[in-house]
Structure 1
Amino acid sequence: MNRIGLHGFVSGKVQGVGFREATLREAERLGVQGWVRNREDGRVEVWLEGQKPEVARLADWLTQGPPAAEVEEARLAPCQPEGMAGFGVRR
């Protein structure tokens, strides 16, 4: 099994544009586990884990996000997968 994890932050116009819900839909479509949440500083935080190709596709998608978003930067770093099940939006 080639399971990997990524954790990081997406900055730009990423709150109030449906970014979390769109990330949830994309993660479910790709079969990626983890979570997404808004941060008080205006960034979106993500935790992704799953098979390398699917996690890489979602990480690439995060550089653009949904149509209303204006992503300035998606900074993700490798992390140890925790064996999460499913993908959720954290508040």
Structure 2
Amino acid sequence: MTGGPMGIFKNLSESAGLVNDMADRLDVDLTHIGGLDAESSAIAYRSVVMSCAACKQHENCRHLLDDNAKLNDAPGYCRNRHVMHRP
């Protein structure tokens, strides 16, 4: 990753936005992603955001999310497909 610390923060912020928007489009509730324990859920959420941050498909993902109010499934390239499934 390039751009120094500010580039890292921008990437993490963008990734958190993509994660939240993907969950919204799929009606996935990330509130208790790690169980009922708030700390475990925070750790699990951080892991999902970090996984997204390592993805090279941010532009494609953003276009997909911007073009669709709802989705039936996360795209095949999504590193968090195991989390992003409809109930």
Structure ranking higher in strand proportion: 1
Normalising by structure 1, report the TM-score.
0.32
Q: Which has the higher contact order (CA 8 A, sep 6+)?
A: 1
More helix as a share of residues? 2
Compute the TM-score of the two structures, normalised by the length of structure 2: 0.33
